[in-house]
Amino acid sequence: MVFTALVSLVAGLLTVLAPCVLPLLPVILGGSVLRGGHDRWRPYIITGSLVASLVLFTLLLKASTVFIHVDPRVWTYLSGGLIVVLGVSMLFPGLWSRFTQAMGIDRRSHDLLEKAHGQKNQTVSAVLTGAALGPVFSSCSPTYAWAIATVLPASTSLGMLYLSAYCVGVGAGLLAIALLGRRLLSRITWASKPGGAFQRTIAALFIAMGLFIVTGLDQVVETRLLTADPFGLTRLEQRLIPATGTTETPTQMSPGDIVSYPAPELVGIDGWINSAPLTLAQLRGKVVLIDFWTYSCINCIRTQPYLNAWYNTYAKDGLIIIGVHAPEFAFEQVPANVQRAVTSEGITYPVALDNSFDTWNAYANNYWPAKYLIDREGRVAYTQFGEGDYGVTESKIRQLLGESASQPMVQVTAEGPGSANQTPETYLGSDREERYVGTPGLGGGSTYTEASVGADEWTLGGAWDVASQAITAVSDGATLALKYTGRDVYLVMGGPPGSTVKVSVDGKASLGSDVGPNSTVTLSGSRLYRLVESQQSSTGATLRLTFSHGVSANAFTFG
């Protein structure tokens, strides 16, 4: 217990330097040094209120059923909006006074508000600065998620101990940064001048960071930093988390195997959506369906209507579905992205975020999607990998629930799987690139010249940045051409809000539902986009895409 508490403390210190925290440091540091010469306690108040907010928000959101179904965008808008308001009040200190007078607030209230915003009393703004960062900060670390998801359900006292130790580490690290920055800047006279250029710059940073949070641009930055993470601090923190649960699984299973072995526990979960943290030990006596998925996977998307229908039909009889989200791409590690996908797909059952693949590895899983059906005694009784066999899976669910065979099975309308002769899944990053043609070779330069493409081949034109998981357009007008066989074409991509991709395809193929006016896709986050959706399969059709600056593409899939 003492050792794990110390590990949690160290993990908190490491989190301060982790990629997801870096965008927040200007607000923490800036808030601490702003008017720092007049309030020596300001750094302590900011870090203390951030830690208190982190604990309170995490417990409310993750451990209380009252707050589970609150749209996470509410917390985003509140946090970002509060930071913007604080920045505006710092940048324009006289604005609040004029606002209260214009609103006709009585003199006594006006004097109290003036005092709260005055030079001599910055306590309120310091508390609000720290408190506003708690909901943003809470998606950063696997350590507090482990304490909430694994320890707290089994032991409230231990869970609170480890979570508190982690938060003490976070607070100590942030306080050290704030005090060091304040000490350095105190030696620069122009930096501590009230209302000076430096302090106006800090106020502008508050406004910019608040807008980044509200618009979701902070998630774009977090995704890029997660992909980079040159020092591996997040992975190091994950390795510090104690291993729990059993990993007794067969070394090799085939799709549709009917098996029986103890179901491994859910381990290393980074967070929960639609539910307080769950363990299989808690669910003993119920039939549990574990579904491994990732939200940009077309095979998972086509399976989703069946999962929703089964849950809606059989939950009252004791069926629990847990969607274990194991991300294929870096942007799928961002909880806000997964939450948007959960809302979009109408998922109401619990979703566990397995960013480090700990539960995936405990099950020795190799597939998206993959289903593990667990009986009331906690043993895996049936497995199904990939699409299809929905009737077999539902029959097994009904058998374990003891449903009457005369009761009709659910009727689901969903997209069918692709054909055997369609173009295979095509990855665009350098790690798994296949069938690329062009000059220079992929990753061999920054400016590319298109080549003639054969069946299933693709080529680039213009300025591109090639990374391990994605290609990113460096300038407007960068192009990609692909010759494919299939009925439907999907592309996993993302970019700055409002960025666009122009789509054209030859033959009789019809453009997909994500293609808007002027044959253009306007991006709304990192996800799978439907570019072509036709009634009949096309053979050797050429798809041509023109990207605006900053758009990243990960992989094509087909249907």
User: pLDDT by residue (tens digit) across 466-495?
Assistant: 988 899 999 999 999 999 999 999 999 999
Nearest to residue 125, comparing CAs of 168, 88, 78?
Answer: 88
User: Are 180 and 323 members of one domain?
Assistant: no
User: Are 118 and 175 members of one domain?
Assistant: yes
User: Are 182 and 267 members of one domain?
Assistant: no
User: Are 187 and 334 members of one domain?
Assistant: no
**Is pLDDT of 21 > 70?**
no
Q: Where residue 542 falls among pLDDT bands split at 50, 70, 90?
A: very high
Q: What is the mean pLDDT of residues 313-327?
A: 94
Query: How far from chain centre, in Å, is Cα 276?
Result: 18
Query: How far from chain centre, in Å, is Cα 164?
Result: 24
User: Are 64 and 200 members of one domain?
Assistant: yes
Q: Are 369 and 386 in contact (CB under 8 A)?
A: yes
Q: How far apart are CA 101 and CA 363, in angstroms?
A: 64
Specify if 388 maps to a domain. yes
**Using one digit for the tens of pLDDT, what is the confidence trace for 197-218?**
666 776 787 788 778 777 766 6
User: Are 16 and 122 members of one domain?
Assistant: yes
Distance spanning both ends of the chain, measured CA to CA: 52
Q: How far apart are CA 448 and CA 278, in angstroms?
A: 49
Specify if 414 maps to a domain. no
Total-model pTM: 0.57
**Is pLDDT of 329 > 50?**
yes
User: Are 212 and 279 members of one domain?
Assistant: no
Lowest mean pLDDT among 92-106, 141-155, 259-273, 309-323: 141-155
- pLDDT of the residue at 225: 54
- pLDDT of the residue at 259: 55
Lowest mean pLDDT among 101-115, 438-452, 531-545: 101-115
Q: How far apart are CA 168 and CA 160, in angstroms?
A: 12
Dihedral angle over CA of 356, 358, 360, 366, nearest 10: 70
User: Domain boundary at 208, 239, 270, which?
Assistant: 239
**Is pLDDT of 415 > 50?**
yes
User: Domain boundary at 239, 274, 305, which?
Assistant: 239
394 by DSSP, 3-state: which?
A: helix
Q: How far apart are CA 334 and CA 355, in angstroms?
A: 9
Q: How far apart are CA 441 and CA 474, in angstroms?
A: 17
Q: How far apart are CA 510 and CA 535, in angstroms?
A: 8
User: Are 442 and 383 members of one domain?
Assistant: no
**Is pLDDT of 127 > 70?**
yes
Within 13 Å, how many C-alpha atoms sit on residue 503's CB side? 23
User: Domain boundary at 401, 417, 437, which?
Assistant: 401
Q: How far apart are CA 446 and CA 442, in angstroms?
A: 9
Q: 388: left (phi > 0), else alpha (psi -120 to 50), else beta?
A: left
Q: Are 79 and 215 in contact (CB under 8 A)?
A: no
User: Are 438 and 371 members of one domain?
Assistant: no
Specify if 40 maps to a domain. yes
Q: Which residues of 181-216 are buried (b: 16+ CB within 10 A; e: fewer)?
A: bbeebeeeeebbeeeeebbeebbebbbbbbbbbbeb
Specify if 28 maps to a domain. yes
Specify if 419 maps to a domain. no
Lowest mean pLDDT among 126-135, 161-170, 189-198: 189-198
User: Are 85 and 186 members of one domain?
Assistant: yes
487 by DSSP, 3-state: which?
A: strand
Q: CB under 8 Å to 479, separation ≥6 — which residues?
A: 450, 460, 461, 462, 544, 545, 546, 547
Compute CA distances 137 → 54, 134, 144, 170, 219, whole Å: 7, 5, 11, 10, 12
How many beta carbons lie within 10 A of that of residue 259, not counting itself? 15
**Using one digit for the tens of pLDDT, what is the confidence trace for 371-399?**
999 999 999 999 999 888 899 999 999 99
Helix spans in 276-323 (H): 298-314
Specify if 418 maps to a domain. no
Which amino acid appears at position 244 of this protein? T
Tell me the residue range of the domain where 203 lies: 2-239
CATH at residue 493 = 2.60.120.260
**Using one digit for the tens of pLDDT, what is the confidence trace for 223-246?**
555 545 554 445 544 454 444 333
User: Are 11 and 158 members of one domain?
Assistant: yes
The count of structural domains within the chain is 3
User: Are 89 and 208 members of one domain?
Assistant: yes
Q: Are 559 and 486 in contact (CB under 8 A)?
A: yes
Specify if 410 maps to a domain. no
CATH at residue 277 = 3.40.30.10
**Using one digit for the tens of pLDDT, what is the confidence trace for 27-39?**
666 666 555 444 6
**Using one digit for the tens of pLDDT, what is the confidence trace for 260-290?**
688 999 999 989 999 989 999 999 999 999 9
Q: Where residue 58 falls among pLDDT bands split at 50, 70, 90?
A: low
Q: Tell me the average pLDDT of the chain.
A: 77
Specify if 267 maps to a domain. yes
